[in-house]
Amino acid sequence: AMPATQAQRRCPELKFAKADWPRIEACSREVMRRLSEFGPLEPLSVDEAFVDLGDEEAPEEIVPRLRKYISSETKLPASVGLATSKLVAKVASDFDKPEGCTIVSPGSEAEFLAPLPVRRLYGVGPKTGTALAELGIETCRDLVKVDIQVLLPAFGSYAVVLQELAQGIDTRPVDPSPWERKQISTEHTFPKDITEREQLLTALAELCEQVSAELSNSSRTGRTVTLKLRWSDFTTITRQRTLPSEIAAAKDLLRTATTLLDRNWDGQAVRLLGIGVSRFGTKSQTQLADF
């Protein structure tokens, strides 16, 4: 893709469409949630992720389900790359966009990568790609065949890694830690700005019910309650309170959230209201502590 600044230099009359980032992020969260139902999930970006599918089903049976899960809520197309490693799966996913599926069978990784430019490999950026080109290495096949002694002066010990990458050797596991949620939250944007306390409390009670239900579904409790307020001029504030013990019940969330509201709201028109819980424990931990 061409950088926006370069595009505007070439076409000064170019007009940019404003991105709807709240909607984009909401779709991303939904897609990631759907994907996480298939196995451990490691997000790469707002629209890319690795999923460890294990070996329970044939890939050709999983792909239609993946697409169905994604499109059912978001109507978005999806490109899929299936392989035995993250490196090869990432390369494969870029093969047949926007709705393609490329499956690289176990044992065929090196053959699949061989004709591709080395710059397609994870870990080969512009600087490394240029250095390889200066050695006459353009494709993964070139990189595999070249004597390691040719690479060592330029790349040192990384030369071994480069040749492994060109063969599809990548032992990195799918790491779900970036996907682990640090907070369970929800928010609501009002059709019209709200200035009445009772209306805010009614909405806050509904939000607390939603968060409480999600905490219950995930067997979690939390100690920190966060209130989010956006005024009519789009100024946004967040305020939080950390409690001495963990809570999950809607009534307890509402009690703390109401305290935060009363301390930080003095009648301004409210455009958006949100509530979140973090610093998680589990229900079993809470019961043990209570006991």
User: What is the predicted pLDDT for the residue at 288?
Assistant: 36
Question: What's the mean pLDDT in 45-74?
Answer: 77
pLDDT for 253 beyond 90: yes
| pLDDT interval class at 17 (50, 70, 90) | confident
pLDDT in tens, 68-127: 777 777 788 888 999 999 999 999 998 888 788 899 999 999 999 999 999 999 878 888
Mark whether 48 is an active-site residue. yes
Residue of 25, 37, 42, 48 with catalytic role:
48
Indicate the pLDDT class of residue 160, thresholds 50, 70 and 90: very high
pLDDT above 70 for 59? no
278 shares a domain with 205 = yes
Query: Where is average pLDDT lowest: 52-56, 145-149, 220-224, 256-260?
Result: 52-56
DSSP-based helix, strand, coil % in the chain, nearest 5: 45, 25, 30
Q: In sequence order, what DSSP letters do the residues of 51-70 get, joined into one string?
A: E--TTSS-HHHHHHHHHHHH
Continuous H helices in 94-221:
109-113, 126-134, 140-145, 148-155, 158-166, 197-217
Q: End of a domain among 103, 128, 158?
A: 103
- Residue at 226 is within a domain: yes
Average of per-residue pLDDT across 13-24: 81
User: Does residue 172 belong to any structural domain of this protein?
Assistant: no
Note whether 246 and 286 are same-domain residues.
Answer: yes
Q: What is the CATH number of the domain that holds 62?
A: 3.30.70.270
| CA-angle at 87, arms to 164 and 112, nearest 5° | 75
Q: How many CB atoms lie within 10 A of CB 94?
A: 13
Helix crossing, 126-134 with 148-155: angle to 10°? 130
Does 120 map to a domain?
yes
Same-domain check for residues 64 and 140: no
Is 11 among the domain residues?
Answer: no
The pTM score is 0.59
Inform me whether the pLDDT recorded for 206 exceeds 80.
yes
Single out the residue in 166, 193, 215 at which a domain terminates: 166
**4, part of any domain:** no
Structural domain of 152: 109-166
Do 98 and 71 fall within a single domain?
yes
As a whole number, the mean pLDDT across the chain is 86
